[in-house]
Amino acid sequence: MTSTLYVLNGPNLNALGKREPGIYGGQTLADIEALCRAETDRLGYGLEFRQSNHEGFLVDWIHEAGERGAGIAINAGAYTHTSIALHDAIRAIKIPVVEVHLSNVHAREEFRHASRIAPAVKGVICGFGAQSYILALNALATITT
C-alpha cells in the first residue's frame, strides 16, 4: 500500500497569489499543491494536501495523519508563533513532522522569530518560497524510507 504524506496549511495561506506577493510569491496554493503532487508522485508517496483558517481543524488533521500518514509537512501560518495546541498535537503523534515557511521568518518582524511548534518537530525549512515545500517532502521521504 502507498504511504501518504500530509501537507497541512494554516491561516491565510488560501490567499497565496494575492497576498503580499513580494513576501510570499505569486504562486497560488493550488499551484503549490500541483508542485507537491508531482513531487510525491515522483517519490512514490500519496498526498493529502489541506488548508484551514481554523486551528482546531489543523489539530484534527495532525491526529488523523498520525493514524494514517507517514509524515507531515506543516506551514501553520501565524499559528506557528502562537499555538501550544499545535505543539501538543505534534508531540502526541509518532510520525515525523517538518515545519515549513515560504518566507525566511528570521529575516522578518521579531514576532515571527519564535516558533511554538519548532521544539516539537523534526526540522524546519524556511525562506525558499514554494521550494520549501518540496525540500520538506524530500526530507520526509529520506526519513521515512
Distance CA 142, CA 111 (A): 32
Does 101 qualify as catalytic in the annotation? yes
Contact pattern for ligand DHK over residues 20 through 59, marking x by CB under 6 A: ----------------------------------------
Does 24 qualify as catalytic in the annotation? yes
Q: Does 101 bind ligand DHK (CB under 6 A)?
A: yes
What is the closest distance, in whole angstroms, from the C-beta atom of residue 54 to ligand DHK in the complex?
A: 14
Q: Does 83 bind ligand DHK (CB under 6 A)?
A: no
Q: What DSSP assignment string belongs to 17-77?
A: TTS-HHHH-S--HHHHHHHHHHHHHHHT-EEEEEE-S-HHHHHHHHHHHHHH-SEEEEE-G
Catalytic residue among 6, 45, 79, 101: 101
Total chain residues near ligand DHK (CB under 6 A):
10
Q: Does 75 bind ligand DHK (CB under 6 A)?
A: yes
What is the closest distance, in whole angstroms, from the C-beta atom of residue 77 to ligand DHK in the complex?
A: 3
Q: For residue 67, what is its C-alpha cell?
A: 493514524
Element (H, E) at 132: helix 131-144
Distance CA 41, CA 18 (A): 28
DSSP summary character for residue 123: E
- The residues of the shown chain that bind ligand DHK, judged by CB under 6 A, are 12, 75, 77-78, 80, 101-103, 105, 112
Q: Which residues are catalytic?
A: 24, 101
